[in-house]
Amino acid sequence: MARLDPLHNLGSSAADGVQYLTFSLGAEEYGVEILKVQEIKGYTTITPIPSTPPHVKGVMNLRGTIVPVVDLRLRLGMPAAECTPFTVIIVMAVGTKVVGAIVDSVSDVVDVPRDDIQTTPHFGSGVDVRYIAGIAQTGEKLIVLLDVDAVLRSEELPAPLPAS
């Protein structure tokens, strides 16, 4: 598998790492760049918005800003799950917008050396891997690294409005 090292030509050492917030969806472990994460909130009331895709659960009020909330399980083609006491909303910056993503539970913040990040394997034309930025290996565990901007494309989300 080819290695992912986008800063290789910028003079950074291959041992440089990137921090990822890891979380679970079902039995799988996923990660997003920590720099995209603004905060982690316990699951809260979400107001549904008509005529949105099924993965857009609605909006929530975050200190006066109305933020769209996406069920990451549904967005990635997984079956829906009931909320548990561990269910959280990860609030992230996506382009110029703020978006909440519902996940089963948050695991940890991990430092992943660039050498331990591999490009997404090619599965053939029948498998959609456009949301995967790479695969990280930490010990014996593999973490699917998500491309937040691709997963939470802003053109599919309601525009944030000021709270009244």
Q: Cα-flanking dihedrals φ and ψ of residue 157, to 5°?
A: -110, 150
- pLDDT, tens digit, 9 for 90 and up, residues 12-60: 444 577 899 999 999 999 999 999 999 999 999 899 999 889 999 999 9
Domain count, the chain: 1
pLDDT in the model for residue 66: 93
Beta strands in 7-138 (DSSP E): 17-25, 28-33, 37-42, 56-62, 65-71, 88-94, 97-103, 105-113, 117-118, 132-138
In a domain, residue 86? The reply is yes
Lookup result for tokens 């009244």: 164
Instruction: Record the pTM.
Output: 0.79
| Regions in the chain scoring below 50 on pLDDT | 1-14, 160-162, 164
pLDDT in the model for residue 123: 60
CA distance readout (Å), 29 to 26, 125, 137: 8, 24, 11
pLDDT in the model for residue 17: 77
Give the CATH number, domain containing residue 141: 2.40.50.180
pLDDT in the model for residue 6: 39
In a domain, residue 1? The reply is no
pLDDT in the model for residue 124: 53
In a domain, residue 55? The reply is yes
- Taking the C-alpha atoms of residue 79 and residue 24, their distance in angstroms, rounded to an integer, is 14
Residue 31's domain spans which residues?
A: 16-151
Q: Which residues contact 60 (CB under 8 A, 6 or more apart)?
A: 44, 45, 46, 47, 66, 67, 69, 89, 100
In a domain, residue 98? The reply is yes
